[in-house]
Amino acid sequence: MDGAGARPSGRIHSMDELRGFAVFCMVFFHGFYTAGFLFGSEIGLYFFRFFTPAEPFFAGMFIFISGVACNLSHSNLGRGLKLLAVALGVTLVTGVFLPEDIITFGILHFLAVCMVACGLLDRRAAAKAARRRFAWYQPAACAALYLLTRGVPSGFLGPGGALSLPLPGALYASGWLAPLGLPGPGFASADYFPLLPWAFVFAAGVFTGRLAREGKFPAFLYPQRVPALSWLGKHALLIYLAHQPVIYGAALMISALMKRLAP
């Protein structure tokens, strides 16, 4: 039998490890933020600002892999609805206990909406599309659309600079369009991943995931190479939910200890 239509067996450890690396970067990035902005650490501020340019890359990696995984899921709709419930819980908890850092449309909200959208797509249309030959122009087009729309939350289209086109201010008059990428006056979210431009990163992962589903990723179907990263990737949601309270508690303990030791 031709292997072109065969699905890979077992876990794709490369995805776990890449997701784990993204989670590792996220935890340290948020740790620097907590130390710098909540506890006034100059070292924390320095490293937070140093790594800020890299943040979209490891966030994008996480989103891309989530798109790939949609090709391997038995129920994207079920996964998306469960994740949406968790995301709304995060909004509730941060709104009650950390109103100054409330998360109204963060990465969990974004991923949940994308998964639900994948789950609502007509299965027959998806199966028909899967039988077509994979075309590299699909993720390439997603990359181009990401570059075109990455400035939408800031009020412009285009890659930036002289090539940018300002968008009408009326689009940003209402806070209801914030999930789309058009945050209105007074909108606040400590973690903000709107559909524009990030939906195109997710879509690029969905298109690329056809290769994984069809068994065309032989170079990536290997046993675990970095078990620690693989473990982080498998438990990404739990780590996301737990890491901020753990970081804050650790920073609080270190701050209290340093005050006791201070002359």
Q: Which residue did the predictor score with more confidence, 163 or 144?
A: 144
Tell me the two tokens of residue 229: 């990263």
Query: What are the Cα distances from residue 181, in Å, to 81, 131, 192, 197?
Result: 21, 33, 9, 7
Is the predicted pLDDT of residue 46 greater than 50, yes or no?
yes
Q: How many CA atoms lie within 13 A of 243 on its CB side?
A: 19
How do residues 239-262 score in pLDDT, each as one tens digit?
998 998 899 899 889 888 887 877
Is the predicted pLDDT of residue 1 greater than 50, yes or no?
no
Residue 127: its H or E element? helix 123-131
How do residues 71-89 score in pLDDT, each as one tens digit?
878 889 999 999 999 999 9
Instruction: State the pTM of this model.
Output: 0.86
- 3-state helix, strand and coil shares in percent for the chain, rounded to the nearest 5: 70, 0, 25
